[in-house]
Every structure is written in C-alpha cells, then in structure tokens.
Structure 1
C-alpha cells in the first residue's frame, strides 16, 4: 500500500514539476555576469525609479485614449470620426508592439527603427481602412470589429516581415527555425484575445457559487498558455521569463480584476485570492528546496577547495552565491552557455530526485563528507563555510582526482545558481505584474468615473459610488497581497544567500525595457478598449443594433 502511494506521489510531483515552466531553464553565463555587473552598480533611487515608472506609459496611454468624448454608436459610422481616430491609435500601438517583439526576439534579422515605424504605419492604415469599409457594408458598430480586422492585420504584418527578411531567411536555416517558433508564439498570443473575453462573458452569466468555481479555470488557462509560449522560446532563452510573464500574467491579472469587479459575491474574490496565495506558497517552497540544494553543494565545494588548497578559507565569507558563481565563471576556461546547457539535461533529473530524498550527490565520495559533518557533536560543530581537519582527512581521495572533482563541483554550483536565478526571475516578475496591473486598473477605473466615455463601457456605465469603492478595495487588496509576497521573497533570499530579487527585477525592467513596455501598453490598452461598445463585442451573438438599424 505504501509502495503504491509512494509511486503515485512521485508521479504527481514529476507531473506538477513538468508543468511549471519556471523550473525548466537557467541563466546563461553571459546573463549571469551581466546581472552581477548591474547589481554592483545599481542604486536604491535608481531601482525605485525603474520599478515605479515602468507602469506609467500604459496607464497614461489608456487614460488619454478616453479624454476626447465619443459620440453614441447609434448616430452612425460617419459621425464617429473620433472613434476611428482613436481606433487608429490603438491599432498603431498594437502593431508597433509586435514589430518591437519580433525585432528583439530575432536580432539577426535587420529591422531599423525607420522601417519598423513604416511597417507599423502601413499595416495600421490598411487595417483601419478595411474596418471602416466594413462599417458601411455591415453596419456600425461592426460585430467583433477587432476579430474581424485580425485576419487582414495578420496578413499585412506578416507580408511586410516576409518582404523585409526573405533574403536573410532563405540563407540561414537557423533563422527559419526561429521564424517558425516566433509565429507559433504569435498564434498563442492571438488566442488569448479570444479565450479571455469569452471567459469573462461566461463568468458573468453564472450563479454566485458557479462563479467562484469557474474562477479557478483562470489558473488552468494561465498554466496552459504559459507552457505553450515557453515551449517555443528556444533561441532567446534568457528572455523567456519576461516574454512568458508579460504576456500571460498581465492578461491574467487584468481579467482577474474584471472577475472581482463583476462578481456578485465575496466568495469568488476569496477563491481567486486563495488560489493566488496557494501558488505563491508553492513557488516559495520551490525556492526553499533549491536553496537547500545550493547550500549542500556549497558545503561540498568548500570541502573540496580545502582538500586542494588547504584548510584556510579561500573565499570571502561575505560573498553571496551569485558573486561566487561569477567568480568561478571568470576563472574557468571554456565555461560558457554550452556547458550550462549540457549540464542542464543531467541536473533537471537530479533535482526531481532531490525533492524526494533530500540528497545531493555531486560525486560518490561526497556522501562521506556529509556523514562526517553531520556526526560532529553540537559543541564542536564547525562554521558552515569552513570544513574541519577531520572532514579533510576522512575524505581525502587520491591526489590526481582532487582538481578534477573540484572542477566538476564548481560546474554543479554555478549551474545551480543559474537555475535559482531563473526561478527567482519568474517569481519576481509574476508578483510585480500582479501588483502593478491591479493598481493601474484601479487608477484607470477611478479616472474613468470622471470622464464622459464611461457610459460606453458596460462594466463602468452603471457603477455608482458604492460599486466604485467596492471594486477599488477588492482589486487593490489583491495587489497588496502580491506586494506582501514580494517582501517575503526578498526576506528569504536576503537571509539565505545575501541576494536581493528586487535588484534582479530592476535588471530585467532596464535591460529588456522595449519588450516590457511593448507588452504592457499592448495588453492593457487592448483589454480595456475591447469592452468599448463601439467595437461591437457581443458574446450573446444577438447584435441587436444591426436589427434596429435595418428595421428603421
């Protein structure tokens, strides 16, 4: 019976780990060194400015879009030129975002800023002329205008890319593979445009209890899309956390905020928050497990360095794990990204084993050192960073293997640090987006309560003072809980390895600011604008306004 339970538990853990994209990957040697350099030069005021200013462009864009009053859609398409102008702005931002993403993900393909803006202008103009023509043929608003325009937009955008890059793509088979992967990510991004709005429509039609249960589907959708995007980011793996999180988590956090706003019971809000807290707890547990692995590998590294160089410490005790890993990188010849990739295949299997038996075996002889250290009495327990002479004598192997074993353990140590930083980047970006998105949405809702265009947003049109207060309190509470999780992660890592994940957050926001801003502006603007009645999103598929215009 216990054997069956153990196998079931092992398979469950392995299946869960397989679905967690943050557990599969590591920093490259280059990125590890870049992060170290940034950490040495970053200042608290600079970090604060980057973290606080990053969400401002998307906030200003989405509010400024509604400063100019719109006419009612009932007056017809030709009387809604303000809508068509702002629609052009939305499509322009939308197109520019994807141009930037393709250019950053495939740096080998030439795309100057001038050409990028030219492609954006051409595609945006073509799509808006097509949509305007549809409004005269079908009626205004055009049912699901954004969806109707998507095929033309996609055709124009990809045609521009093909014309710009056809010679380079034909000449390089690796670039062809990158193009295919990029298109697959693009398709998954487009699928979110359909999946999430339809989810919200179904959510609003359910009963109180059903809404609470249905809200859990958000996490299933999120996990599925994260795995889909992650699978096809194979050439720019250092960018994977940012690409996955600022696509999926921004979208998910926005619709979680919508669910809280449209929920008719506190039960749904409690379920959403409880599910997020559970996910945070699981992620922190993964960090703690990896820290425990790293601590054991560090002890083995200290012991083997003492065997080679003598019992005197050769490493500054105040040096944190990342600094030590970078120091090893700088002094090891030929230790580059390929070395980390090769070791990753072996290490991923060892990590699952560690979760079950809590042991790390960099070398068969290393197990002896663990036993010797653990059997030491408490009164004679050595410092964690300095092995005793007894450790050294009991574990001394033949001299010709000392240097070899030390180099192998150094590889294990650097790779473990690289995996830990990869995991931490995923976590800190998730928590950051789930803090800023509710705050941005709350400020937007508060600002819209004073703007005339609110009557054209179904979720805002009938919201009174009490509803506004309830929405803001629920959404901001959600963001506050995520902020607490950032503080917990900061505390855990500072205490264990003297490292600040907030510095890592600043590193990503600064070094990949084009990708970050393109996605934040893209998804916040798109999601908010998609509910505007002028865009004709009617998931009941009745399209009553078309029947009224035909009868009149």
Structure 2
C-alpha cells in the first residue's frame, strides 16, 4: 500500500491533480502491486497451481469485474438522477434502480456458483449496500416529497411480495411434512430439513443433489459432525479444491492436494457432493427429496431477505451520522453531496433519510416476526449465524464500499461524468 500511495502522489504532483476517476484508473497499478507481492510471498509453484484452476479463475475474474462495474454504475446512476431531477424526470430514473440491482445481483451470483453458502453475504453486502446507499442519496437530492414517498412505498411493496412468496412455499412444505409424519410442535423449516436428513440419511440417493459440506470452516458439535460424516459416507463425493496447503508446496510434493486450512480441531473441511438425479428413487424418497430441496430453498431465500432488510435498516443511520458530522468540518466544501448544505439546513436534508430508516426498522421487526410465525423461519438465528461466521468478509466489504462510495464524492478523486476534466 505504501508503494501504491507513492505512485498516486507522484502522478498527482507531476502529471495532473485530481487524477481522473482515481479509484478506477489507479486500479491497474494496485492490482499489479498486489499480484507481484502475492507472487513473491507464496512462490511460483503455488501460482502455477492456481493458474491450473481455469474455471475458478474465471469465476474470480467475473467477481472482480462485477465489483468494478458496480463502483462505476452506481455513481453514474447518481449523476443521471441529479440530471433527471433538474429536468423533472426523477421518477423515471428511480424506476431504473431496481433493474440495476437485479442485474448486479445476478452477475455476482453467477460468479459464486457452487458456493451457495457464501452467496447471500457476498451479494447483499455488495449490491444491496450500494443500492441502499444510493436510495438514500436519491432521497436527499429528490426535488419533491412525493418522490421520497414513492421510493419508500416501492421498497415496502417489494418486501411484502417477497414475504408472501416465502410464506406460500414454507406453508406447503410444513403441511406436507406433517402429513408425512414429521412431528412439529411449532412450524419450523429447519426442523423439517433436519428431520429428513437424520431419519433418511442411509438413503443417499434421496439427497445426492444436496451440498453436504460448506465451502467455509465452521465450529460444530460432536453430534452434528457425526451426522455430516455419516451423510458423507453414504453419498459419493469429490474434493472441492479451496486453499492450497503451503506446507505441501514447501516440500515440493509431486502430487499436491488442495484442502481447507484447519484452524481448529473441530472444523469441517469443504467437500460438496456430486449432483445426481433422483429418477430411480422410490416414490416416497422422491417426495422427501423434493421436500428437503424446498426447505433448503426457503432457508436460503429467508437468509437473503433478512440480510437485505438488516442492511437497509442500519445504512440510513450510518449515513445520517456521517453527513451530520461532515457538515461541521472545514472539508465539507469538497464533498459534492454536501453542496449547498449548511449547519442550518442539514435538518431538512436528513428528514427523509430518517423517515426511511424508521420505516426500514419497522419493516425489519415485522419481517422477523412474520417469518417466524408464518414461515417457520428463525430469521434472527440466520442473521446471527451469518454475522458471526462471515464477519471478516462483511467488515472488509463495508469498509471498502464505504470508503469508495463516500470517497468518490470528494472532488480530489476526480469523478467527472461530464468527461470534460477542466483541471487537466
């Protein structure tokens, strides 16, 4: 990072300042430095082994490309919204935001195929963070309160529709499970999935389409570790390459293995199983397989939904605190989002943001209650699990995206979508 900073300062001092679109144009030198440092640290043999993983490299490249595209698309959208607001067409541009969100979600999800347990966190804390951030900015710059109200109502409708779809699927699975003999004191989708796995674990073909092991390491109880071992033994599987063992590389092994890094004695390494069809299953097993598949899909969707609502709840609060602090600093004049905002006028600017944050908080609380009551999903447990197990990834994303989104609005970073660059 020190070398990168020296390069950026040298260009700014001797060529032009600000550097046009600095966060983008300086990406290539940054990646070159990171790649060179990585090569020196791990050695050439490790790099050659990584380069053999063509499919994984393609997914990784797609993921980086999606992140870069996101960092360009949303600032460009903000410029478009501002121009549309001045011309009276801001509602038309507001309608584009869900489309942008959907496209970016699908691109990032595509880059994370076969890594379903990482997908909700990776998508939500990237795409949904940008989306929530620029919804707030749109509210701040909206020319009328009607636009703010429409944005709030549209977001609420989206949440209601998603919950209704989830409830319909969950109710069907719980009803079929009770009819099939599953003893449920309370409707609980997780109990349904656990029951099917524990009582039919010997019938491997019933669950051959299910990914047994995670692509991350988790601390498990002895009972759950035994269950996973039994499911793994009952089902043919293959090793899912992840982090290369540097110890093998150091010894110059002719046949190096790829495995997870074991930090604890009670963590489980990555071993997704091969996907198989259930054409030859008995009718009862087919029903159980379909029911398990449906339960897992409900849990996956619920995790995505609760993470998105959680993020949309605290982002308005963080942004409000940020602008209330920044407006008192001498550097506020360099922040484009604070143009024309003073200590006296800041109150009117944050009213809509605070109202949106309150609505999101109420929506989050209601969603948690409704998902538990109507869908049999303990969403707070999902949220706590993701925040605990994915915390390093979440912290990295929030820090990086906050610096990028807020930094791109400082004039020193050379963001100019008119492409005139008058200072050059």
The TM-score with structure 1 as length reference comes to: 0.59
Kindly indicate whether residue 291 of structure 2 is the aligned counterpart of residue 431 of structure 1: no
Aligned partner of 2:221 in structure 1 is none
Q: What is the distance in 2 between the residues matched to 1:213 and 1:448?
A: 31
The TM-score with structure 2 as length reference comes to: 0.76
Kindly indicate whether residue 127 of structure 2 is the aligned counterpart of residue 248 of structure 1: yes
- Write the mapping of 1:150-549 to structure 2, written as runs, cut at 5 A: 150-161=27-38, 164=42, 167-168=45-46, 170-171=48-49, 175-206=53-84, 207=86, 209-302=88-181, 315=183, 317-318=185-186, 320-331=188-199, 332-333=201-202, 335=204, 339-341=208-210, 404-465=282-343, 467-546=345-424
Aligned partner of 2:269 in structure 1 is none
Q: Report the CA distance between 1:134 and its aligned residue.
A: 1.2
Q: What is the distance in 1 between the residues matched to 2:358 and 2:209?
A: 37
Contact 2:210 2:293 in 1 (8 A): no
Q: Report the CA distance between 1:533 and its aligned residue.
A: 1.6
Aligned partner of 1:376 in structure 2 is none
Deviation >6 Å, runs of 4+: none
Q: What is the distance in 1 between the residues matched to 2:22 and 2:375?
A: 52
Contact 2:328 2:343 in 1 (8 A): no
Point out where structure 2 has 5 or more consecutive residues left out of the alignment: 213-280
Any idea what the Cα deviations from partners look like across 1:295-324, whole Å, max 9, x if unmatched?
Answer: 34224412xxxxxxxxxxx73534733123
Q: What is the distance in 2 between the residues matched to 1:213 and 1:511?
A: 40
Aligned partner of 1:85 in structure 2 is none
Aligned partner of 1:148 in structure 2 is 25
The verdict on how the C-alpha distance between 1:337 and 1:409 changes in structure 2, with shifts beyond 3 A counting, is closer
Q: What is the distance in 2 between the residues matched to 1:449 and 1:167?
A: 52
Q: What is the distance in 1 between the residues matched to 2:421 and 2:134?
A: 24
Q: What is the distance in 2 between the residues matched to 1:262 and 1:336?
A: 56
Q: What is the distance in 2 between the residues matched to 1:168 and 1:497?
A: 47
Q: Report the CA distance between 1:342 and its aligned residue.
A: 8.9
Q: Report the CA distance between 1:174 and its aligned residue.
A: 7.8
Structure whose CA Rg is larger: 1
Aligned partner of 2:11 in structure 1 is 134
Contact 1:254 1:524 in 2 (8 A): no
The verdict on how the C-alpha distance between 1:275 and 1:544 changes in structure 2, with shifts beyond 3 A counting, is same
Any idea what the Cα deviations from partners look like across 1:104-154, whole Å, max 9, x if unmatched?
Answer: xxxxxxxxxxxxxxxxxxxx2232222112112323222322222122112
Point out where structure 1 has 5 or more consecutive residues left out of the alignment: 1-123, 303-313, 344-402, 547-552
Q: What is the distance in 1 between the residues matched to 2:384 and 2:341?
A: 37
Secondary structure, in 3 states, of the residue corresponding to 1:464? Answer: coil
Secondary structure, in 3 states, of the residue corresponding to 2:305? Answer: helix
Q: Report the CA distance between 1:489 and its aligned residue.
A: 2.1
Secondary structure, in 3 states, of the residue corresponding to 2:420? Answer: coil
Higher RCO by CA contacts (8 Å cutoff, separation 6 or greater) = 1
Any idea what the Cα deviations from partners look like across 1:472-523, whole Å, max 9, x if unmatched?
Answer: 2211222222222222322222223543211211110111111111111111
Q: What is the distance in 1 between the residues matched to 2:319 and 2:126?
A: 16
